[in-house]
Structure 1
C-alpha cells in the first residue's frame, strides 16, 4: 500500500513537472525571438526561466529514484548474489541516504520558511519571489525521502518491479 502510494505520488509529480520543461523552452524561444528578431528583449524571461529550471531539476529527484535513474556506484554490489546485494543496498539507504535526505528536508524547510517570512525576491530587473523555489526544495526533499522509504520497503519485502516502458 505505501509502496504504491509513494511510487504513484512521485510518478504523478514527475510527469507533471516534465511539462515545466516545455514551458521554459517556449519562454526561452519567445525571449530569443524578441531579443534578436525585434531587438526588444524581455525583462522577466531570464529570471523566470532560471526559477522554472530550478523547479524542474529539484522536483524530479524522487521520480529519478523511483526509476533508478540516479548515479550509482555498483563496484561492490555488482559481484554479489541477490540476497547479499539487497542487504548492502538496505544498509546503504540506512547509513547514507536517509541521513542525507533528513538533513536536506529539515534544512530546506528552514531555508524556505525564512525566505517566505522575509518575502525574499530576486535582485534582477524584475523582482520575482524566491520563496516558491525554496519551498519546492523542501517539497522535493520530502518526495525524495518518501521514495527512499518505498525503495527500502521493496528491498525488505523483495518486491521486484516490472521494467518501466515509456
Structure 2
C-alpha cells in the first residue's frame, strides 16, 4: 500500500514554491548518493582486482557527498512528513490548540535551524577566504561542505517558518491552511507479505 504522504500536494503557492526548491535539492542529493555508490564500487574493484585503490575516495565521500545526501534532503523530508514525530496526544487535542502548539514548535525550530544555517554560512565564508583545505590528495577545500550544510539548513528553516505561519493562520481561520500529516496506520497486518 502506497503512503499517501509521499503524494500530498502543496497547500498553497508558497508551499509549492518551497517544494520546487526542495525538489531541486533532492535531485542533487540523489546524484550525490549515486556518486557515493559508483565511487565505492569503483574503489572496491580497483583495490581488490587491480591493487590500485582510489586514495581520494573516502575524503571526497566523507567531506562532500554524505553531507550533500543528508542536508539537502532534510526540508523535503519535512514537507512529506518523513521525520520522526511523536504525535501521541496531537490527534486528541482540539483543533485550535493543535495548530497553535504546532505553530509554536515550528517557530522555535525555524529560529534554531536558521541560526545553524547562519553559523555554517559564516564558516563557509571563513573557510573560503582562508583557503582552508583538508590534508588529502588532492587537497579538498572545506568551504563546500559548510556551504552545503548552510544551504540545506536555510531551506529547512524556510519550511519551518512556513509551517509556523500557516499553522497559526489555521488555528484562527477555522480551516486547515497547511499540509497535515496523514492519519496513522492502525490496522494490524499478518504474514510477511500482507497487503
Q: TM-score range by the shorter chain?
A: 0.7 to 0.9
Unaligned stretches of 5+ in structure 1?
none
1:111 aligns with 2:111: no
Instruction: State the number of aligned residues.
Output: 163
Displacement of 1:150:
2.6
Other-structure match for 2:93:
80
Q: Give the structure-1-normalised TM-score.
A: 0.87
Indicate if the aligned counterparts of 2:19 and 2:79 stay in contact, CA closer than 8 A: yes
What is the CA–CA distance in structure 1 between the aligned matches of 2:159 and 2:22, rounded to whole Å?
7
Other-structure match for 1:159:
177
Other-structure match for 1:138:
150
Counterpart among 30, 33, 46 of residue 21 in structure 1: 33
What is the CA–CA distance in structure 1 between the aligned matches of 2:95 and 2:34, rounded to whole Å?
40
Helix, strand or coil: the match of 1:105? helix
**Bigger helix fraction:** 1
Q: Give the structure-2-normalised TM-score.
A: 0.75
Give the aligned CA root-mean-square deviation in angstroms. Answer: 2.1
Unaligned stretches of 5+ in structure 2?
1-12, 171-175, 183-195
Deviations 1:21-44 (A, max 9, x none): 011101110001111111111111
Displacement of 1:124:
2.5
Q: Who wins on radius of gyration, i.e. which is larger?
A: 2
